[in-house]
Homo-oligomer: A and B are copies of this chain.
Amino acid sequence: MTMKIKIINPNTTQSMTGKIGEAATNAAAPGTEIVTVSPPMGPPSIEGHYDEVFATLGVVDEVRKGEAEGFDGYVIACFGDPGLFAAREIARGPVIGMAEAAMQAASIISEGFSIVSTLERGLVGSEHLVQRYGMQAKCRRARSTGLSVLDLEVEGSNARSVIVDECRRALEEDHSDCIVLGCAGMADLCRHISEQIGAPAIDGVTVGVKLAEGLISLGLGSSKRRGFAYPLPKDYIGSVSGYAPGPRH
């Protein structure tokens, strides 16, 4: 079965988009065409609610264009799952948030996980998602490494060892059995971390690709009743007028 999946890095940092695309492509099945993009506008990293507002614009724009381009499904490659519900409204096929995907996988292969993330200020965002996805009994703690998102892009930095150390502390102190990586920028480190800590580490981008492939192959897309029904056609004004949802034929 052939299919086209769009991976959207909601931030504009091309080196991260490259890493994400490589991880996604490696994970994809033979018949799957993976296209990885970042929006042409927005923040270089998402480290708070304000950054997220502008990144969300890019996400929904990429899904909007993706529908015209014939994509069968989408993965949002930022741990905050920005724009997830709006994207599901405009997409025919499934839209996967990497955080939701990673937590679902973690709840299958373990009885408790820790999230290991970047800056402390982002933890409340993770905690909101844990609550929204009903993972309170499974997620034992969300942890910060103190690294910024772009620290992960610096060649030769100690980011890798800082993350491994925090993952080890998580297993020990939180009584967790598995680690959910809390940033798409860690996608390339997943296998290394897992080997170092002797327990599964989960990257939501690659899990998202497999979930999207699975749902698409079963013909399961966003339900168009009630919650994720297509936007009602209406005119928008001003700088966003081009995004107005038109009538569906």
Chain A residues within CB distance 8 Å of chain B = 1, 12, 27, 29, 39-45, 47-54, 56-57, 60, 83, 85-86, 88-90, 94-96, 100, 104-105, 107-112, 120-121, 123-124, 127-128, 131-138, 148, 171, 175, 177-178, 191, 194, 198-200, 202, 206-207, 210-211, 213-215, 217-229, 231-232, 234-241, 243-245
Contacts and interface: CB of A to CB of B under 8 A. Distances in A.
A248 to B, nearest CB: 13
A241 B12 CA distance: 12
Contacts of A89: 48-50
A131 B137 contact: yes
Contacts of A215: 105, 108-109, 207, 210
A213 B138 CA distance: 23
Contacts of A245: 50-51
Contact of A96 (B108, B229, B240): B108
A36 to B, nearest CB: 17
Q: Number of copies of this chain in the oligomer?
A: 6
- Which 6 A-B pairs have CB atoms at the shortest separation, nearest pair first? A41-B238, A210-B214, A111-B227, A134-B134, A49-B85, A49-B86
Contacts of A171: 225
Nearest to A178: B223
Contact of A56 (B47, B53, B95, B224): B53
Nearest to A51: B231
Given A40-B237, A214-B211, A86 B134 contact: no
